[in-house]
């Protein structure tokens, strides 16, 4: 019976550690400027007040962001998206599926990137703890 209690205690510890690592994640939010947007980003999520648009095929020219409103309802991966925050709502001009916003009205630019050292460190710690727990039970 003592072995089953130890196994249950170890399982609780593993579940707690897995939840802790999952909640912290391997991605971090990074703030950028319009001129330093990574080229790998395919879609812009444009936020203005309570409105949100997914914009693809975008370009920045003549101090204006121009792009097509993304019609696909599929989920877009976090590493392919950049978030732009514009104000006021009246600065966003929509004509059909074409969207334009002056870059002067874009106040903030965020995107997610992988935090490699956090990922490697978290994986190493969880692996070490799993092996130490499993070997203490055997």
- pTM for the predicted model, two decimal places: 0.68
Q: Give the C-alpha separation, 119 to 80, whole Å.
A: 19
Q: Give the C-alpha separation, 71 to 56, whole Å.
A: 9
Q: Which residues pair with 67 in a beta bridge?
A: 99
* Domain that includes residue 133, residue range: 1-26+118-138
Structurally, the chain folds into a number of domains equal to: 2
pLDDT class of 73 with cuts at 50, 70, 90: low
Q: What is the pLDDT of residues 12-57, one digit of tens each?
A: 777 776 666 665 667 777 888 877 777 777 888 899 988 889 898 8
What pLDDT sits at residue 121? 73
Q: Let me know whether 34 and 91 are in one domain.
A: yes
What pLDDT sits at residue 6? 74
Q: Let me know whether 51 and 13 are in one domain.
A: no
C-alpha separations of 100 from 24, 78, 96, 109, 116 in Å: 36, 23, 11, 16, 35
Residue showing tokens 């870059």? 103
Question: To which H or E segment does residue 4 belong?
Answer: helix 2-24
């Amino acid at each position: 019976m003592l072995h089953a209690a130890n196994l249950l205690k170890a399982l609780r510890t593993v579940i707690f550690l897995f939840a802790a690592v999952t909640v912290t994640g391997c991605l971090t939010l990074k703030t950028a400027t319009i001129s330093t947007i990574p080229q790998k980003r395919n879609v812009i999520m444009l936020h203005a007040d309570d409105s949100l648009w997914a914009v693809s095929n975008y370009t920045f020219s003549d101090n204006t962001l121009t792009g097509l409103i993304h019609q696909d309802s599929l989920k877009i991966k976090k590493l392919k998206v950049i978030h732009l925050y514009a104000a006021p709502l009246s600065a966003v001009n929509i004509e059909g599926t074409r969207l334009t916003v002056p870059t002067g009205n874009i106040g903030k630019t965020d995107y997610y990137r992988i935090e490699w050292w956090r990922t490697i460190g978290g994986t190493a710690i969880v692996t070490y703890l799993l092996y130490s727990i499993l070997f203490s039970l055997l």
